[in-house]
Chains A and B, each alone.
Chain A
Amino acid sequence: MKSQFQPDKNGYYGQFGGAFIPELLYPNVKELEDNYIQIIESDEFQNEYKSLLKDYVGRPSPLYLAKRLSEKYGAFIYLKREDLNHTGAHKVNNTIGQILIAKKLGKTKIIAETGAGQHGVATATVCALMGLECTVFMGEKDIERQAPNVARMKMLGAKVVPALSGSKTLKDATNEAIRYWIQHPETFYLIGSVVGPHPYPDMVARLQAVISEEIKWQLKEKTGKENPDTIIACVGGGSNAAGAFYHYMDNEEVELIAVEASGLGVNSGESAATSQLGEVGIIHGSKTILMQDEYGQIVEPYSISAGLDYPGVGPLHAYLFDSKRANFMDATDTEALTAAYELTKIEGIIPALESAHALAVLSKIKFTKDQVVVVNLSGRGDKDLETYIKHLED
């Protein structure tokens, strides 16, 4: 049976999705659309993808029972350790997959956008691995606040192009990447999240689905249980959440919690809580929920976390929200920082600021004592040390 959370032939999840692209991009997107499923499902792809995930990325990533965290919140809290992946986050699951697809399609030049720099690093890494040319677009503001990742990309041989327009963050980096793609249709655009025109949201979700595939057997092995009661993941564009939810979306018994960044507060005017502040709109080729003004101009979002300040959300998540399949919560900058310090102090794990948003809702939920909760720890906090140190002093 086909899942209701798979897009239809035009790339729609309910009313969300589609491919709203200028004619200039039609051939590129069409080529990908015609080939991606066939490539992903081929033995050749699966063998290479799985082998790289195992030996290069270090998968399976552990499912770790965080005992002291569990004690504190009165539930069984497991952390899916995507932070232990090579390059430090879940992003590499997707870039390994897409680089293999790009190679199969005969592409030699890769472009990507990045917010926190995790996707940029993961893309630069696989380009180095495959010997392909790599250009990464990154908002000027993000280049400043994520300096270590910029250095890593450069060391890996990527060209980092600052996006100088608009808010100079992820949205603008994506605009610049799409513009460059229009001018250079021979390039392969390696999108980092479940956003963009169809088939990107579905393709990226399929490549991140390895997260929930592993959770399934790991949980069974550890607890004998088929499913967790609750899965929690942070959502900017939504790729780590899509991966963590993927194999559970059709199973209504599993509670899915998506956590958005509410910055200085949902209604402060400095927020990225798209589901609460947004309305139906089109961004980066996809119809979704979008933060915009009364005339459809896209509003500049804010979050302390460079990976979550996206004014839209992937169309799958818009559908999960609209259909009430997932429960959307939010965490402010301060709540995320508090949660990051807490995890560091009681579990010895420094999480990425993005993942800290997912951890931050633990204190807002009433758990039953047997409840099995999986928090997707999407990345490690090395890149955020400067921010953490600054707030340590405060």
Chain B
Amino acid sequence: MNSIKELFQQKDKNLLSIYFTCGYPKLDDTTKVITALEKSGVDFIEVGLPYSDPLADGPTIQDSSQKALENGINLDLVFEQLMTIKETNKTPLVLMGYLNQMLKYGEDKFCQKVVDCGIDTLILPDLPMVEFENHYQELFDKYGLTNVFLITPHTSEERIKKIDEYSKAFIYVVASASITGAKGEISNKQVAYFERIKAMNLKSNLIVGFGISDKQTFNTACNYANGAIIGSAFIKNLGKNGVASIDGFIKPIIS
């Protein structure tokens, strides 16, 4: 069974996921961040592969990616780093990157490495459903990998139902029609959208992302979904205060 799905069977409320960028703020921080997040009680972790042209990310994550690339991070290094904590880390990891990274690395080689690192869930924000159906579903099945799809306030009901069918880990509910970035609040419009999705009674678990930054926004999101992902706000803190500050960032949110 998919590792995130398994997690949901043990816990299906108030799951906290954190997105971080590999190789940031320092090249060898990847495993330190994961270890610190696990210690702090985060439920699952989104491992971001730094990309030169991250279209679906906001300026905070783009800056962290650029810094990480300047630090010398690359896919081979990321896989090496992840291998070193494979045995000790018990928190499920989700790998997030852009399709071109997989394409250039070699699709089969990429999938095999992901599996070798003990990861079974991918988020590729620029992989649309039609390309998944035509080119990637078979490949991912072959390696036992699951792709996470995003839905937005503008995704049609029909499309959401289709995404629900394909989702083996969870559905990533984009909180607002905006790119990632800590906004600090959740609007009435967003609540209406969460309610609309909740009322659809989808079979998949729902995780809210984009615009979640603190305890308040996390709690609001959790009223309508199984949990939420914090990205930009975490990266901002990490960049400023380093790995030692992680526990201090996480604890107030989950306490």
- Which A residues fall within an 8 A CB radius of B? 10, 18-24, 26-27, 165-166, 171, 175, 178-179, 182-183, 185, 279-285, 290, 292, 294-298
Contact across chains for A283 and B100 when beta carbons are under 8 A apart: yes
CB proximity of A10 to chain B, nearest CB, Å: 6
Point out the residues of chain B lying under 8 angstroms from A166, CB to CB.
52-53, 66
Of the listed stretches B18-26, B172-180, B226-234, chain A binds B172-180
- Residues of B contacting A283 with CB < 8 Å? 53, 100
Assess whether A22 is in contact with B104, with CB atoms less than 8 Å apart: no
Cβ-defined contact, B177 with A24, below 8 A:
yes
Known contacts A165-B66, A166-B52, A185-B177; decide if A24 and B128 are in contact (CB<8 Å): no
State in angstroms the CA–CA spacing of A171 and B52 once bound together: 11
Chain A residues with CB under 8 A of B66: 165-166
Interchain CA distance A10-B76 in the complex, whole Å: 33
Q: Kindly provide the distance from the CB of A130 to the nearest chain B CB, expressed in whole angstroms.
A: 25
* Chain A residues closer than 8 Å to B56, beta-carbon distance: 22, 24, 182
Residue contact B51 to A18, C-beta cutoff 8 Å = no
B52-A23 in contact (CB<8A) = no
- Assess A295 versus B155: contact at CB under 8 Å? Given A20-B128, A24-B56, A182-B177: no
Smallest CB gap from A182: residue in B: B179
Across the interface, do B55 and A179 meet the contact criterion of CB distance under 8 Å?
yes
A175 touches B53 (CB 8 A): yes
* Residue B151 at the chain A interface, CB threshold 8 Å: yes
Shortest B209–chain A CB gap in Å is 12
Write the chain B residue with the least CB distance to A164. Answer: B59
Take A20-B127, A171-B53, A281-B100 as given contacts and tell me if A183 and B177 are in contact as well, using a CB distance cutoff of 8 Å. Answer: yes
B191 interface residue per 8 A CB criterion: no
Q: Is the CB of A292 within 8 A of B155?
A: no
On whether the beta carbons of A21 and B53 are closer than 8 Å, the reply is no
Q: Which residues of B contact A (CB under 8 A)?
A: 51-53, 55-56, 58-59, 62, 66, 69, 74-76, 98-105, 125-128, 130-131, 134, 149-152, 154-156, 159, 174, 177-179
| In contact, B174 and A24 (Cβ under 8 angstroms) | yes
CB distance from B80 to the nearest CB of A (A): 13
Query: Would B155 and A10 count as touching, CB distance under 8 A?
Result: no
Q: Quote the shortest CB–CB distance from A31 to chain B (angstroms).
A: 10
Contacts of A185 in B (CB 8 A): 154, 177
Question: How many residue pairs bridge A and B at CB < 8 Å?
Answer: 103
Verify A23–B130 contact, CB threshold 8 A: no
Known: A179-B179, A294-B104. A10 touches B150 (CB 8 A): no
Contacts of B103 in A (CB 8 A): 280-282, 296
Q: How many angstroms from the CA of A280 to the CA of B103 in the assembled complex?
A: 8
Known: A20-B126, A185-B154, A280-B103. 6 other contacts (CB 8 A): A23-B174, A24-B154, A165-B66, A175-B53, A282-B99, A298-B52
Q: CA separation between A232 and B56, bound complex, in Å?
A: 37
Q: How far is the CB of B172 from chain A (nearest CB, A)?
A: 9
Shortest distance from the beta carbon of A102 to any chain B beta carbon, whole Å: 18
Complex contact B75–A295 (CB within 8 A): yes
- What are 7 A-B pairs at a CB distance below 8 A? A19-B130, A22-B150, A24-B56, A165-B66, A179-B58, A282-B100, A298-B52
Measured between beta carbons, the chain B residues less than 8 angstroms from A175 are: 53, 55
> How far is it, in angstroms, between the C-alpha of A295 and the C-alpha of B77 when the chains are bound?
11
Please measure, in the bound complex, the distance between the C-alpha atom of A23 and the C-alpha atom of B155, giving whole angstroms: 8
Q: Which residues of A contact B149 (CB under 8 A)?
A: 23
Chain B nearest Cβ from A26, distance in angstroms: 7
Contact B150 A295 (CB under 8 A): no
Whole-angstrom distance between the alpha carbons of A295 and B131 in the complex?
Answer: 21
Residues of A within 8 A of B179 (CB): 24, 179, 182-183
Residue numbers in A under 8 Å from B130 (CB-CB): 10, 19
Residues B174 and A292 in contact, CB atoms below 8 Å apart = no
Residues of A within 8 A of B177 (CB): 24, 182-183, 185
A23 contact set on B, CB distance < 8 A: 125, 128, 149-152, 155, 174
Kindly list chain B residues whose C-beta atoms are within 8 Å of the C-beta of A182.
Answer: 55-56, 177-179
